Structures are given as structure tokens and as C-alpha cells.
Amino acid sequence: MQRIFFMLSLLLAATACSAPPREDRVATARTEKDSVLRAMFKAKKISYPPSSLFFRVFKSEGDFEVWVRPKAQGSYHLLKTYKICAQSGEPGPKRQEGDLQVPEGFYIVNDFNPQSQFYLSMGINYPNASDRVLGVKGKLGSAIYIHGDCVTLGCMPLTDDAIKEVYWLAWQVHQKEQAKIPVHIFPARLDAKKFAALKKTFSSNPPLVSFWENLKEGYDMFETASQLFTVSVDKSGKYLFE
């Protein structure tokens, strides 16, 4: 059974990256969602399109947040929270190919694929520098995407309707001025109550709790200031925030 899941993950990863040409899905997303997004921004009194944006993912809650910043300098505002419509794995980072885990940590969107097998998709830079230190050497895997179609073996799927909004917004910002769109992925919302529950549940796994304590540093910084920060990784794989 594990071998079957592993082979399926390879197939899905490959097809997420390449698929036969289909209709112009970006044009469809623009036609269907540009006016919707404009109305959404107008209601929140934010200029459209924004100067920059970033995504936050909370695995346990299944929440995919879109945050936008109207000006080059200033605070981010929560635009909308979408629901992740299918999940695999459990709380904890992705450490090797075929483990069915959704990554956890601090990433960027590094690929736009308008012809994905899963409608529209945006890839993240897994494995990042931390993953390469902490993961299984030579067996880390790749091809982790935010995509449509509501199926997954380690990715973050939204409905096709939702991915049209998210993709069109991200594509505009990417084309305009933001080459790197941050994606922060957490096991859950790391407020005091939920983090205490996580630590209690996984008390027998100190390295995992320590990893989450590191993620919480970044979570708390954004919660306090609604501003992003520079992320780096030390030689032990720990995230550093400036």
C-alpha cells in the first residue's frame, strides 16, 4: 500500500507540473474574477491590485488566508480566508518524498502553471534551506503546489472557483512588482491555547515541538505587527527572523 501511495504521489507531482494544453484558464479567471476581486477590495477600501500579498496556511483548520498590502510600505490586511478542500498527512513538516505530508515552514511561490492537471496551480519552493538540512537527504521530493481540483497527496488544493480568484490576484501582483510571494505554512493557528494543545498532544516528540516553537516565532512576529520579515536559515535548519 505504501508503494502504491508513493507511485501515485510521483504521478500526481509530474502531472501537476505539465499537462496537455487546454483553454486559456488565466483569461477565464480574469473574465470571471476580476470584477469580483475589485468589489472585494473596494469593500475593504484597499487599492486594486495591491502592491504585494502573501499567503498563510493553517493545516489543522484547513484555512488558506490571503493577505494584501496596498502600498510598498505598510501593514498587511486580511483579504479573504479560503478553505483547503482536501488534505493528506498529519501535523508536522514534510521530511521525505512519499510521506504524504504538507510542508510546514516559510516558503515562496516559485512557479505559476496555468495548464496544471489540477486546473491552475502555483508551486512553492519546497524543499527550502531548512528542509534540506532537516529532511531525509536525497529523498526530499518536490512539486508542492497550491492548486484546484480538490485532490491532494501533500499539496494545498482549493476549489476551482477559489483558485481562479487566488491565481488571478497573485499573477497580477507577480507581473507588476512582487517577484517572490511568501507562503507561511503552520500545523495550526499557533496562539497560546492551540500551541499548548499541540505541545501536549505531541509531548513524546520533543524535536517536533522544538520545530514548532521555531515556527511560532515567525507566527507571533506577524501577528504583532501585520508586517513581514526577512527569513534565513542557520546551519542546524532553524529559521531566523529579522
- Per the structure block, which three cell numbers stand in for 128? 527550502
pLDDT tens per residue, range 68-106: 999 877 899 999 999 999 999 999 999 999 999 999 999
pLDDT tens per residue, range 200-242: 999 999 999 999 999 999 999 999 999 999 999 999 999 999 9
- Per the structure block, which three cell numbers stand in for 178? 512582487
Residue 68 β-bridge partners: 53, 77
Tell me the HSE value of 64 on the side-chain side, using a 13 A CA sphere: 19
The pLDDT of residue 168 is 97
Query: Does residue 49 have a cis peptide bond before it, meaning omega lies within 30 degrees of 0?
Result: yes
Mean pLDDT of the chain: 90
Q: Beta strand 145-147 with 119-124: parallel, antiparallel or unpaired?
A: antiparallel
Measure the CA–CA gap between 151 and 147, rounded to whole angstroms: 9
* Reported confidence tier of residue 21, pLDDT bands at 50, 70, 90: very low
The verdict on pTM exceeding 0.75 is yes
The pLDDT of residue 19 is 45
- All domains of the chain in start order, with CATH: 2-193 (2.40.440.10)
